Amino acid sequence: MTDAAAVRPMTPEEYDDWIVDEIAAYAGDLAQASGSTLEEAHLRAEQQTKDLLPDGPASDGVHLLRVLDGAGEPVGVLWLGRHPQRRGAGWVYEVRSEEARRGEGLGRAAMLAAEQVAREAGWSALGLNVFGHNPRARGLYDSLGYEVAATTMAKPLD
């Protein structure tokens, strides 16, 4: 099992590549979770991302980081910002490892790095959302001590 050694700020070039992939990945998750079309979800993802990152990587209170493996190679992304509702707390907007590197402990190491960044930012807590169709992530967050704050549920009706 390989752990991430560190996080570092995303470069402008990395941001330009990442934002396109981020919107597409988020749109896919939104469509799957909400039942909306991919086109509708993509528009929603674009708008939400624009609202959260009005000045791109220079947006106030935002930490856009690359997750590095033990050899210092970029293997993931970590996006932190202020909590959308809880004053003085932070929020994990995205944590993602490269598909080929999943299962190596990189997500755990990234989340531990997120906690350190949050402490350094003076945040009292760190929150996140996990889609129900991602039980692997849910297991990781449970193992790290995150607790359910709210649950949204749905039942398909045939």
CA distances from 157 to 134, 154 (A): 21, 9
pLDDT-flagged residues of the chain (< 70): 1-5
Q: Hey, how many other C-beta atoms are within 10 angstroms of the C-beta on 59?
A: 14
Give 14: exposed, middle or buried? Use CB within 10 Å, 0-12, 13-18, 19+.
middle
Sign of CA dihedral 20, 110, 143, 2: positive
Q: What was the pLDDT predicted at 152?
A: 80
**Tokens standing for residue 86:** 């809880």
Q: Cβ distance 140 to 107 under 8 Å?
A: yes
Determine the Cα–Cα distance for residues 7 and 51; give it in Å rounded to an integer. 25
**Tokens standing for residue 138:** 């849910």
Q: What was the pLDDT predicted at 133?
A: 77
pLDDT tens-digit map of 19-35:
999 999 999 988 988 88
> What pTM was estimated for this model as a whole?
0.86
